[in-house]
Structure formats: structure tokens, C-alpha cells
Structure 1
């Protein structure tokens, strides 16, 4: 399967993942378990941005193979650190775990396999993509924390 096809499948997987998270009330889980100060507008905007990024990475996959690797990294990090591990540690199902395990993990790994097997990416590119995925995953969380800190400071002033 080509990197381009895999990139489009990753976008579809992310759309299904967002649907699972919404239907299974990820927001309440994130507030209760992760203690994230997240609301539904945050969820909507963040997932809309990720879907746009997913469309872009799929569109440029053949010309810039590192870009789908960053998106695959985002998916893998999301699956492991925001779904699988929290579900195991807390013994409370993290909404999104099903699509993370059934779609994110196999597709994310396959993107890396494809890129390395075809020579589109070496170790350095793969490591940079993992770092990029981690930064993408951290960005909305950091923004939430900054906003929460600002709102708390303003309320206490």
C-alpha cells in the first residue's frame, strides 16, 4: 500500500476516532481522569484542526513523506499516552481507546514501515517525525493549561 493511501486512511481513522471520543464523552473523562480543563469547544476546534492537518498530510504525502510520519506519530502518541496507558493505569475506559488500538496503532506503524521500506525516511527523519508528533500532541494541552492558568489568575485578581 502506498504512503499516499496510508495517509488518507490515517485521516479517515482520525475522523472515526473523534466520533468515538465524542459519542463516549471524552470531555468528561479528560476532566475527571486527566484533570484537563477542557470543554466541548476545545474538543471541536482541536479535532477540526487535526482533521485539516490530516487532509494536508494526505495531500502532500508523496512530495513530502516526512509529513505523514509526523501525523502517524501524533496518532501513535495519542493512542499510547492518552488512551491505552490511561485505561490500563486507571482501569477506566478512555473514550477513543477502541479506534486507537484498532486503527491508530496498526496504521501508524504501517506508515513508518512503508516510509522506511521504500527509502522515503531514514532513522533521522523517523526520530524528527516522532518529535513533531509529540509537539503536535502537546500543543493543545499546553494551550489549555495556559488558558486555565490565565483564567484562574484573572478570577483571583
Structure 2
């Protein structure tokens, strides 16, 4: 059984995260997503999303071929991320974006390798393939969707001189901030 390739993909994900951080993903993403979706991802968005990626990757690797449609969702996610968020945008821009190098050198070959390994272990049915693509696409869509939901419904991070969201009436927090005292 070659399901250990999924662990290799988890390790590749860690290297991909390091590259994105080192090359300034947040600045690039603010421009890229700002123009297209009107969102400006923060470093907090980056770390939370990538923590979720690692948890998802570990879950996929632990499940392995027992549920290939689910576990290969990690390979599909890596391929979707590599092509849709790194290779094509870099080609359009005429310059590499943060994550392109590991996406091209690791995500694409290891993502394909995972499918080949599942096939050679007789675990890649048509249904498993379709499910994996749906899982990977859903995870990617959820990551982008959370940025949009945050834009439309989220609270901004409070700066040191800001109080954050208004206090709930009738609570201790309202009294501390000088809320309406009924005058």
C-alpha cells in the first residue's frame, strides 16, 4: 500500500506554507483577492487557513485508502491550489507569486503521484476520483468563502486603541466603557 504518499503531501504543504510566508503572501493576496473579491486577507487569515490545511492533511493521511475519495481530497486540493492560485495567476501576472515554486515543484507532482498510488493499489474508482475533486474543491471554496464572509459579516481585529465591537447592553463591559447610564 502506497497511502504514505499522503504524508509526503502533508510535508509538502508545510514547505508550501513556509514559502508563502517567506515571499510575502499577505501582500500578494491583498492585491490579488482585493481586485477580484474586494477582500484583503490578513496574516491571521493566512495562519488560521493553513492550520486548518495541516489538520485536514493529517486527517486525510490518517484515513488513507480506507476512504480514498476523502483522503485524495488533499491531492485534489493541492492540485487546485497549485494550478488555480499559483501557476495561472503567475502566468497572467508575468511574475511568480508566493507559493509558486513549491506548488509547481511539490504540489503538482506529489498530487499526481497520490492518484497514481491509489490507482496502483486498486483504490481509485471513478467515484473516488469524483468525490476527491469535490472534497478538494469544497475545501478551497470554503477557504475563499470565509474571506468573503469575513468581509461581509466579520469584525475587524481591534487595534490597541480601539475597543472592538460595542458592548452588549446590561453587561459589565458596558459599564466599563461608559455605556448609556439612563440619563
Between stretches 73-82 and 139-148, larger displacement belongs to: 139-148
Q: Which is helix-richer, 1 or 2?
A: 1
Q: How do 1:36-115 and structure 2 match up within 5 A? A: 36-115=39-118
How far did residue 151 of structure 1 move? 5.1
Q: Is 2:65–2:118's contact at 8 Å kept on the other side of the alignment? A: no
Structure 2: how far apart are the matches of 1:145 and 1:34?
A: 10
Q: Is 1:37–1:145's contact at 8 Å kept on the other side of the alignment? A: no
How far did residue 22 of structure 1 move? 0.5
Structure 2: how far apart are the matches of 1:89 and 1:124?
A: 33
Q: Which runs of 5 or more structure 1 residues have no equivalent in the other structure?
A: 153-157
Structure 2: how far apart are the matches of 1:57 and 1:82?
A: 22
**CA RMSD between the two structures:** 1.5
Structure 2 length as normaliser, TM-score? 0.78
Structure 1 consecutive aligned stretches of length 4 or more whose deviation exceeds 6 Å: none
Structure 1 length as normaliser, TM-score? 0.90
* Higher relative contact order (CA closer than 8 Å, sequence separation 6+): 1
